[in-house]
Chain A
Amino acid sequence: MNLTLLILLPLLTAVVILLMRSGVQVKWSALIGASAQFILALILFFAFRKERALGNEAQMLFELQYKWFPSWHISFHLGVDGISVAMILLTAFVVIAGVLVSWNVEKMTKEFYLLLILLSLGAYGFFISLDLFILFFFLEIAVIPKYLLIGIWGSGKKEYAANKLALMLMGGSALVLVGLLGLYFGGSENTFDLLLLSKIQIPVIVQKICFPLLFVGFGVFTALFPFHTWVPDGHSSAPTAGSMFLAGISMKLGGYGCLRVATYLMPEGAKEYANLIIVLSAIAILYGAFATMMQKDLKYINAYSSVSHCGFVLLGVGMLTKTAIAGAVMQMVSHGLMTALFFAVIGMIYERTHTREVNEMGGLIKVMPFITTVLFIVGLCSLGLPGLSGFVAEMTVFMGSWQNPDPFHRVATIAACMSIVVTAVYILRAIGQTAMGPMNERYLSLQDARWNEKLAAIILIVGIIAIGIAPFWLNDLVTPAADIIMQKIAGK
């Protein structure tokens, strides 16, 4: 299949949205566009499996290469491996759910959906690019839609949050840019091509300088401690779909970049700094979990728990074993689905109760059975209940981490494991206070979920359960790609 479709389809959707006149037309064209993306992502997934089943062992499938700025040795080079396919699936799930959830956005509907679709365009482009220049291009394309989504449709300290997010992500991009230039000029060949760069020798000194730049740069996107501070503010101020996209897709750009660009291209650098990464991500995991305990606002709870959960992604990368890296990718997919669903549910509750304070809620299960059931599912997934995606992903990361026999890695793994207890505490407390207990009188008249909200929730739940009870399809997708990365790290 032709990968440019993944870029052209959102672009076409955006143009159609621009031409539409009424809000209803805009919504439906956005939904049709998002559904087409969803179908396209599924087609890609099955086409990819078919190619692999036929014995196509190439590292990247469906490769395409067009000329673009040839004088800088840049080309529009696209291709996917298992990791990219997993991320594209995740993006498609979150996009369609996000479009459905925002069905009753009344303020500047056209602009809202336009920005959502542009955000998805950036994500797809990022995950399929094999040229670091266009990868960077798509990484930055997504910054402005996020900024405007939070700033215009957000709530609370929205302008502060929007500014903080845009500037911190731009700072991350600036570091990435310098790192990329180091790769471009540092190797034996001036090129931005990912596959070419993976084959040529990059001097160890260049790796030692550029690896931290790239890792921290991408790490800002995925809440690397101590650059996670935009996460709580950004997520809690964003509109529902904005939070879903931010946590579900945008944070994954960083994790993917850390893995694909920083670690894969510069194994010597990765080995040099692996212990530091492990320490930082263990801090993020524990700190995020304990910080969540103190939160009263549902969105802040999920935002801080995202810091904790994304810590597992970087922990997996830092462990440098095949299983841990596969686990990191699975954690990205799992957390993306789970956190998008969590934010969607919080949005639904907030729209009805007009509060996100846990203390002010109670007994909601009586009036909103569907929504609270979803809340239970997502909460249990977050605390790692077997049968749901969170367990599979975190378990894989832990197993991969344990493969390192020395005490340092063992201690870090155990420390990270302990966060699960804390997670259980805050999740159960939050859900319990929201759903159970005595009900507030004024919530008696509230309505349960509408069709669009139900559909969005079901789509995401299907993803979560599919990974939870049948993890092998995701594992089979991701592990061969993780193996290639590991082989490069092991120097084979």
Chain B
Amino acid sequence: MLNDFLLLMKAELALAFILFLVLILKVGKEITNERLLALIQLLLLGNFIFGFFFIESGSLFGGMFTTNGLIAFQKSIISLGIYLISLLFSDWLKKSELLPEFFILLLSAVLGMFFLISSGNLLMFYLSVELATIPVAAMANFDLDKKISSEASMKMILSSALSSGVLLFGISLIYGATGTISFDQIPALLDGNGLQILAFVFLFTAFAFKLSIVPFHLWTADVYEGSPIAVTSFLSVISKGAITFILLTTLYKVFAPMHDLWYNMVMLLSVITMVVGNLFALRQQNIKRFLAFSSIAQVGFILLGISSHSMEGTSSVVYFVLIYVFSNLAAFGVAGAISQAAGKERIEDYKGLYQTNPLISWVLALSLFSLAGIPPTAGFFGKLFLITAGASKGNYFFITVAALNMIISLYYYLRIVSAVFMDTNHQPIPKINLDHSTKLGMIICGAGIILIGLLSWVYDYITALSF
């Protein structure tokens, strides 16, 4: 029993260990921010590598907690993401007075996500959603002297509270309709009656809030703009990744019998989300708001893959999230470095960036191409597989709309590329001296963006896990 417990929950235990270590260091003797950050980076790297060992599948606590190879891999993606965040934003983190607190909050949220991905029961699901959300709201307020940051935090708390309420209502309806909250037992009891559909709609609405699916996306841009960039990147990459993973489980496992019902809904929402996200992204001037809306559009593509309800759907969505971690974090990393060094966050300030900062410019260009889905970057493969998975149901009208959306998104990604590479500026952003960990983070992201697509065994590995 103890053995099982240790093995199956090893990811959570490792994370909790790091969390408490940081806490002890915080209350213990004085330690400089640089050394503490270096230690944390090392621990997070260790945590990521550790994620690939001792992978077991099984469940604990009467099915409340389940894990298997795919779930372990999903957790590894998240571990990789937080390791990259600790690298990319090291400049900002070092200067922060509350470095330990930041990581305590971040790691608690990640712990919540780990439990969320592993949850096998609606109660566990609800609790871990809360654990994954509340610390992030506190993190959103981390630029303590900025009013806009508190505003972001407040908006996030309010919208999370609303979505939690909706979620709880949905859970109670499901319990009322089926008499159980266990993921294993619900599918057999679903017959698609009105109450169950209503319950599903409420449950899905909660997901839609968290994933900022249109029309539940309105909180996203303000929160992203107000939060420090490190937190924005965490929100838009890691949080969304975790929620996407559990959405996959929920739709494919729990609500599989109602597939015919949710297919149309997901497909429609996918296309609306893409179109609205893209159209709003067109006119953004602030890079954070811009990335917020572009990430809404990306969620649209994820939903397209999910709608296929097949093994290809699972593997292409997990694959896309992996690629998304690299591409979006690289973009946020560059935005963070520029914002930290020059205090500029507007796209027009990026004009002429290539003249002064070639490395950053190439990383930014690569990440934007990957987000736009241009080969040879990984984003091309990720998006193509999502679309292919979505097309397997033969709904070509929506597929065409999705493909045409790639043109709109290319337009606004190219807007930044042309500002960076083509425009001239009398006062370009001066040469930025990146510290070593930021540079390392950018190189890892760049390498990931190029290699993950071309090396097809990464996808094969995910496929092997999905079956």
A118 to chain B minimum Cβ distance, whole angstroms, is 9
Residue interface mask B415-455, A partner, CB < 8 A = 1: 00110011100000000000000000000000000000000
Contact of A159 among B312, B422, B463 (CB under 8 A): B422
Do A181 and B387 form a contact, CB below 8 Å, given A71-B315, A175-B403? yes
A159 and B407 within 8 A (CB) = no
In the complex, the chain B residue whose C-beta lies closest to that of A150 is B422
Q: How far is the CA of A214 from the CA of B421 in the complex (A)?
A: 33
B54 on the interface (CB 8 Å rule)?
A: no
* Tally of contact residues, A, Cβ under 8 A: 34
A242 to chain B minimum Cβ distance, whole angstroms, is 14
A170 on the interface (CB 8 Å rule)?
A: yes
B65 on the interface (CB 8 Å rule)?
A: no
A137 and B380 within 8 A (CB) = yes
Q: How far is the CA of A24 from the CA of B384 in the complex (A)?
A: 40
Q: How far is the CA of A181 from the CA of B386 in the complex (A)?
A: 12
A167 and B312 within 8 A (CB) = no
In the complex, what residues of B have CB within 8 A of residue A184's CB? Answer: 388, 391
A384 to chain B minimum Cβ distance, whole angstroms, is 37
In the complex, the chain B residue whose C-beta lies closest to that of A66 is B456
B459 on the interface (CB 8 Å rule)?
A: yes
A162 on the interface (CB 8 Å rule)?
A: yes
Residue interface mask A128-153, B partner, CB < 8 A = 1: 00000100011011011001100110
In the complex, the chain A residue whose C-beta lies closest to that of B383 is A177
A159 and B418 within 8 A (CB) = yes
A167 and B407 within 8 A (CB) = yes
A407 on the interface (CB 8 Å rule)?
A: no
In the complex, what residues of A have CB within 8 A of residue B376's CB? Answer: 137, 141
Q: How far is the CA of A166 from the CA of B415 in the complex (A)?
A: 12
B402 to chain A minimum Cβ distance, whole angstroms, is 9
In the complex, what residues of A have CB within 8 A of residue B418's CB? Answer: 151, 159, 162-163
A177 to chain B minimum Cβ distance, whole angstroms, is 5
In the complex, what residues of A have CB within 8 A of residue B421's CB? Answer: 148, 151-152
A167 and B411 within 8 A (CB) = yes
Q: How far is the CA of A167 from the CA of B315 in the complex (A)?
A: 30
A82 to chain B minimum Cβ distance, whole angstroms, is 27
B307 to chain A minimum Cβ distance, whole angstroms, is 14
B374 and A167 within 8 A (CB) = no
A178 and B459 within 8 A (CB) = no
In the complex, what residues of B have CB within 8 A of residue A178's CB? Answer: 396, 399-400, 403
In the complex, what residues of B have CB within 8 A of residue A148's CB? Answer: 417, 421
Q: How far is the CA of A68 from the CA of B455 in the complex (A)?
A: 8
A170 and B391 within 8 A (CB) = no
In the complex, what residues of B have CB within 8 A of residue A162's CB? Answer: 418, 422
In the complex, the chain B residue whose C-beta lies closest to that of A171 is B407
In the complex, what residues of B have CB within 8 A of residue A175's CB? Answer: 403
A171 and B404 within 8 A (CB) = yes
B462 to chain A minimum Cβ distance, whole angstroms, is 9
A473 on the interface (CB 8 Å rule)?
A: no
Contact of A71 among B374, B375, B417, B460 (CB under 8 A): B460
Contact of B385 among A72, A174, A182 (CB under 8 A): A72
B404 and A174 within 8 A (CB) = yes
A151 and B422 within 8 A (CB) = yes
Q: Which of B380, B414, B421 neighbours the largest number of chain A CB atoms within 10 Å of its CB? A: B414
B391 and A185 within 8 A (CB) = yes
A451 on the interface (CB 8 Å rule)?
A: no
A209 on the interface (CB 8 Å rule)?
A: yes
B411 and A163 within 8 A (CB) = yes
Do A152 and B459 form a contact, CB below 8 Å, given A71-B312, A166-B414, A181-B399? no
Q: How far is the CA of A324 from the CA of B460 in the complex (A)?
A: 44
In the complex, what residues of B have CB within 8 A of residue A158's CB? Answer: 422
In the complex, the chain A residue whose C-beta lies closest to that of B423 is A159
B466 to chain A minimum Cβ distance, whole angstroms, is 9
In the complex, what residues of B have CB within 8 A of residue A68's CB? Answer: 456
A233 to chain B minimum Cβ distance, whole angstroms, is 15
B463 and A71 within 8 A (CB) = yes
Q: Which of A67, A71, A144 neighbours the largest number of chain B CB atoms within 10 Å of its CB? A: A71
In the complex, the chain A residue whose C-beta lies closest to that of B421 is A152
A252 to chain B minimum Cβ distance, whole angstroms, is 19
In the complex, what residues of A have CB within 8 A of residue B456's CB? Answer: 67-70
In the complex, what residues of B have CB within 8 A of residue A67's CB? Answer: 456
A444 to chain B minimum Cβ distance, whole angstroms, is 35
In the complex, what residues of B have CB within 8 A of residue A133's CB? Answer: 384
A257 to chain B minimum Cβ distance, whole angstroms, is 16
Contact of B414 among A152, A163, A181 (CB under 8 A): A163
In the complex, the chain B residue whose C-beta lies closest to that of A151 is B422
Interface contacts beyond A167-B411, A178-B400, A184-B388: sample of 10 additional A-B pairs, CB < 8 Å, sorted by A: A140-B375, A148-B417, A151-B418, A151-B421, A163-B411, A177-B384, A181-B388, A181-B399, A182-B396, A184-B391
> Which residues does B use to contact A, with CB under 8 Å?
312, 315, 369, 374-376, 380-381, 384-385, 387-388, 391-392, 394, 396, 399-400, 403-404, 406-407, 410-411, 414, 417-418, 421-423, 456, 459-460, 463
Q: 8 A–B contact pairs at CB < 8 A?
A: A137-B376, A138-B375, A147-B417, A152-B422, A158-B422, A166-B414, A167-B407, A167-B414
